[in-house]
Structure 1
């Protein structure tokens, strides 16, 4: 889901640099979502 949303926002991973940025953003968003769920007891 997040990967697809990043594409809709204009991110791509055709080049190595783009791939690093996109996958880093993907990981950061998932980590933030997980932290939020943990802090709010939604686990």
Structure 2
């Protein structure tokens, strides 16, 4: 049972890291979009 709890904890950490990287990537895309729009004006 201890091993199962450990695996669950690792999965949770991986999920948090994936969400964090997804938001970083999304933020980067938004920044690029805003930057390109400013250059067009």
Q: TM-score range by the shorter chain?
A: 0.5 to 0.7
- Structure showing greater relative contact order (alpha-carbon pairs closer than 8 Å, 6 or more residues apart): 1
For structure 1, the residue ranges without an aligned partner over 5 or more in a row are 1-13
For structure 2, the residue ranges without an aligned partner over 5 or more in a row are 1-8
* Structure whose alpha-carbon radius of gyration is higher: 2
If the length of structure 1 is used for normalisation, what is the TM-score? 0.61
> Cα RMSD between the aligned structures?
2.0
> Structure 1 stretches (4+) deviating beyond 2 angstroms?
none
If the length of structure 2 is used for normalisation, what is the TM-score? 0.64
